A and B are shown apart, each in its own frame.
Chain A
Amino acid sequence: MDRKLPQFFFALSLIVLALMLGAVWQAASPTWKTYQQEFHRLEAAGEPNAAAKSDVLNADLVIKQDLLPGLQRVDRCTTCHLGTEDPTMKNAAQPFTFHANLGPHVPAKFGCTVCHGGQGLATDKQNAHGMVPFWQEPLLPKDYIRASCGLCHKEGEVPGVPELTEGRRLFETQGCRGCHKLNGVGGTIGPDLTEEGAIRRFPEWLEKHFLDPNTVSRNSPMPNFHFTKAQARALTFYMLSLTSQQMGSYYSSVRLIPSAGYGRQLFVEKNCIACHSIGGVGAKGGPDLLGLAKQHSSGWLDEQLVNPQTIYPGSIMPAYDLDTNSRKAILIFMASATAEDAQAILSQRTKALTPRDAAIEAGKQSFARFGCVGCHGLELQGGVPNPNSQGGEVPSLLHASDDYTEEEVIKIIQNGKVPPVENAKGPAAPLYMPSWKTVLTDEDIHRIADYLWSLQKKKEGW
């Protein structure tokens, strides 16, 4: 044995050396280098002369990185996706294909993963596309990429993505807030959705969930809303856009897309029609806006919106606190607004109402906005299953006045109520009335009670 020791030692040393070389070889030949070499060949084919060709073919193979501190990411997709900003690569095969319609969303400023999903830190295909365990943000399928627009563009409409607007509208009107919190407002029966777009970017799961919650979330207390495929899709888009993540100032300053629709919304919100007219329709307190847009540059108009006093000292127009993009939106609206628009705006203004009517109207809006319709129904009919509660379902509110006074109902809204159980030995009923006194003001609660009382069905006469 002793004789053989040096030989054994030497043989083992060779094995260790071989393993070292193996590790070095593994580290020196990542797949991205192959892709880059292929791209250089493609590029060289388009070069006019031999010198240029050889320059391209001998270019360094390096990892390309977009450092995005404002978005808190690092994207290395362009290491392989080298043709993204090269129009001559329009017809190249992936990963070299040219990315049309980038607009201002260039990789140097936005990276790729904020819209497409995936794992920007990775440098091989499977990991980079996020198709690996423990990565919650895989590459979005082509149809859903537009949902990412909503991650930044949260106000107004996003041109080309009507699903986001529809999703938001469905969320507000179908009572989702009754069980789900969003940005601090809502119920606690289901999970908080404020970060849904950041933590769970699986569109297939989300769509199935909206079509029938129990297929993907066993024993979920969420009722089946019988959404259509288009509605489920719109809601999925909206979910994918939900995040409260703060982005750098560059991003927050550009995220509102000024559109005529948003401009009109602001116009109504700020009640401009109270002093101005458009094409002769409206008030006479200030100049007609149809004429103004033709006479002055947008810079002048913008200045006016920022501080009316600089142009007309002594003007009674208040200085509205509007950011750049909001002002742009108003001006875009003004550029195309007509007398018909003014007429429509005028007729939508709240009619003269009695204080009680106004309260009921406000209560109705709160009832929808804070999600009460989710459990109690759009027509207060109840009926949502609630196993092991007395009655087995959420009660209808149309006969609440039979059992309670208005003051008692107000107390229930403030403090919440757990429904009595049918079978004491069974599990607690999943749905319950949460307490709203920390979310709604007392006035809100009174108005909701007024709304409820306005719809009470009288007891049948004996």
Chain B
Amino acid sequence: MKRRSIVSWGSAGLVALCSGIGVSLAAVLRFLTPSVFYEPPQDFKIGSPADFSYGPPTFLSDEKIFVFRDREKGIAVASGVCTHLGCTVAYFQSDEEFHCPCHGSVFSADGKVVHGPAPRPLEWFEVTLARDGQLRVDKDHIVPASYRLMV
């Protein structure tokens, strides 16, 4: 075997090997990433706008969200999960604040942290109007606190 031919085969082989390893790693990662989830969906419908009252927000316990409906501003959906360690917060109409029972975090009506160990404001989820007239919430899309859906 001549030296030169070994070198050129060798480097070609190396390239093939690296691309093979790369493809394999990418495939393994994609394989391990779930394609479907055996959990309640992140993207769901909650009913028509008329189902929700003005004034204090409606709390949906299964989805853990607060649905705000304002005559001028429209509809907004806030997460009911405290950003500290994940407990469910409660809304107090008198103070217009969210209180977390676990470690005392308090959030204002637009989700900002007023008091307590929570590191971030409450998340607001994208809510859109589906073509059948229902409100559609997507927990995978976080929106700023000022986001409103006009209906």
Contacts and interface: CB of A to CB of B under 8 A. Distances in A.
Interface size class of A (residues with CB under 8 A): 20 to 34
A419 B13 CA distance: 83
B36 A65 contact: yes
B6 A6 contact: yes
A9 B6 CA distance: 13
B131 A85 contact: yes
Contacts of A20: 20, 23-24, 27
Interface string B1-38: 10000100100110011011001100100000001111
Contact of A67 (B35, B41, B45): B41
Contacts of B13: 6, 9-10, 13
A85 B132 contact: yes
Contact of B23 (A13, A21, A65, A106): A21
A14 B9 CA distance: 12
A87 B24 contact: no
A24 B1 contact: no
A6 B9 contact: yes
B9 A10 contact: yes
Interface residues of B, number: 25
B40 interface: yes
A3 B1 contact: yes
B120 to A, nearest CB: 25
Interface string A81-111: 0000111110000000000000000101000
A108 B63 CA distance: 14
Interface string A60-73: 00110101000000
Which residue of B17, B36, B44 has the most chain A CB atoms within 10 A of its CB atom? B36
B132 A13 contact: no
Interface string B120-143: 000000000011101000000000
A120 to B, nearest CB: 12
Nearest to B43: A64
Interface of B: 1, 6, 9, 12-13, 16-17, 19-20, 23-24, 27, 35-41, 44-45, 130-132, 134
14 contacts: A6-B6, A6-B9, A7-B9, A10-B12, A10-B13, A10-B16, A13-B20, A20-B24, A65-B37, A67-B38, A67-B41, A85-B130, A106-B45, A108-B45
- 5 nearest A-B pairs in the assembled complex, by CB-CB distance: A86-B131, A65-B36, A85-B132, A17-B20, A10-B13
Given A10-B13, A65-B41, A87-B132, 4 more contacts: A3-B1, A9-B13, A24-B23, A65-B36
